Amino acid sequence: MAEITLQIDGMHCGSCVRRVSQALAAMPGTVVKEVRIGAARFVSSDGPAAVAQAIAALAEAGYKANAESAQVS
């Protein structure tokens, strides 16, 4: 399991938070822990590979994301 924090550009409102939450939750093996304007934190069974998957999913939803941290446990 990996706990991942992403910095997300372009989030401005509650609707953005909801879209980001939905995009991350749609990823298999992912549990969203927290989404707030500008960042998201989630746990994934895919480990560090989930970072690239999440960045791609968020780009498809219209947001640019950068990995802040990924801790594998």
25: pLDDT strictly greater than 90 = yes
- Section 33-60 average pLDDT: 92
As a whole-number percent, the residues of the chain with pLDDT over 70 amount to 93
pTM above 0.95, yes or no: no
**What are the tens digits of pLDDT across the range 44-53?**
988 778 999 9
Alpha-carbon distance of 72 to 67, in angstroms, equals 14
- Section 17-23 average pLDDT: 96
Catalogue all structural domains in the chain, each as residue range(s) with its CATH number: 2-72 (3.30.70.100)
The Cα angle at residue 1 between residues 67 and 32, in degrees rounded to 5:
60
